[in-house]
Amino acid sequence: MFEGLKEKLGSFREDAEEVAEEAAEDDTDQSAAAPETAAAQTSSDADVDDELPVADEDAAGGGSEEAAESDAEDDGPSLGEKAKSLATGKVILDEDDLEGPLWDLEMALLESDVEMSVAEAILDTIEADLTGERRGFTERTENLVEAALRDALLEVIAVGQFDFDEYVAASEKPVVIVFTGVNGVGKTTTIAKLAKYLEERGYSSVLANGDTYRAGANEQIQEHADRLEKKLIHHEQGGDPTAVIYDAVEYAEANDVDVVLGDTAGRLHTSNDLMAQLEKLDRIVEPDLTIFVDEAVAGQDAVNRAKEFDSAASIDGTILTMADADAQGGAAISIAYVTGKPILFLGTGQGYDDIEKFDPEGLVDDLLGEE
């Protein structure tokens, strides 16, 4: 999963580590000459001071101080600062030191379908973590680079994260969950997987087919309901989707069912009629969670659709299907940051058990793991 992205992140780590080590070596070479340079400068300043008239000493000293401060601001860390850093086992990295590796990383992220604003946020965090301050090089260089990359990835991936299991446990029953997204992304199968997932954790559920537009939709979800021995609420084709979900909620309340899992018609975000129907469902049923479903392999398209669906129905989270077939990882990296709503699950196959609760830290560990 996300093998291409792993490789690109690994390349950045190697490049950044090499740059950091070269910067440390350069600073070491310069600091070795620093005492002689400082001594020579002191001697030269003393000679000049001897020749200056007494009345001009303050002016000369003041001008020299201002010039030194100006030079330090213009040129970044001074030789003395770098020498002092190395004496304590630390080094200062300039922004220019990482310019090349960061540029390469940006291109790699964009090639992996990571959204532009997300790529920029990752780069900004890495640069802030690694430049402008003394960094301890008593540790291995690669540990520092990895820590910066880990922070940057978690900052964008873990946006809005909450624990789905804890949410269901703490919510008043029935918990009403509506699933939305475009056609053909595995939405109905995902609902069946969630029914099995919930059952394994002790929760009963009822399925509701709000996809009243597509011929054969009732038959498809009925097959899942039969296999899982779940009740299915449905109306005839062409009926009101909101009425179907509403009936399922009433059934759950009357029969002490814990969770309502409501399917909706697959729709393009450009279909005004279907999006208006989704807004109506959101307004009348007031689901506890509206979950957007799309394919991880859709990359940037999935990110753009998530934004549009969030505008229409204020999604609460995302499930990405086909994550096991995605080498790029752009959608997994980008969707939470762009929508402000978390990824809740990853679909990893066609079986009912092929669904994994999304773990941002686990994903980052995997992305930064040994190849």
- Give residue 278's domain range: 164-358
- Domain shared by 151 and 174, yes or no: no
- Domain shared by 173 and 44, yes or no: no
Residue 324 Ramachandran class (φ > 0 left, ψ -120 to 50 alpha, else beta): alpha
Note whether residue 369 is domain-resident: no
Strand partners, 232: 207
Report the side by side order of strands in the sheet with 289-295: 232-233, 205-210, 259-264, 175-180, 289-295, 317-321, 343-347, 355-357
Indicate the burial class of 194 (C-beta count within 10 angstroms; 0-12, 13-18, 19 or more): buried
- Domain shared by 182 and 288, yes or no: yes
Share of the chain above pLDDT 90, in %: 48
Note whether residue 105 is domain-resident: yes
- Domain shared by 205 and 248, yes or no: yes
Per residue in 303-330, pLDDT (tens digit) is: 999 998 888 778 999 999 999 998 888 8
- Domain shared by 106 and 190, yes or no: no
- Domain shared by 180 and 283, yes or no: yes
Q: What does residue 318 show for φ and ψ, rounded to 5 degrees?
A: -130, 145
- In the chain, how many domains are there? 2
Per residue in 154-206, pLDDT (tens digit) is: 999 999 999 999 999 999 999 999 999 888 899 999 999 999 999 999 999 99
Note whether residue 368 is domain-resident: no
CA distance 23 to 206: 61
- Domain shared by 199 and 228, yes or no: yes
Under DSSP, the state recorded for 92 is E
Note whether residue 371 is domain-resident: no
Name the domain boundary from 103, 126, 157: 157
User: What is this structure's pTM?
Assistant: 0.79
Residues 6+ apart with CB under 8 A from 135: 90, 91, 92, 93, 144
Per residue in 258-306, pLDDT (tens digit) is: 999 999 877 665 566 767 777 888 888 999 999 999 999 999 999 999 9
- Domain shared by 130 and 188, yes or no: no
- Domain shared by 36 and 174, yes or no: no
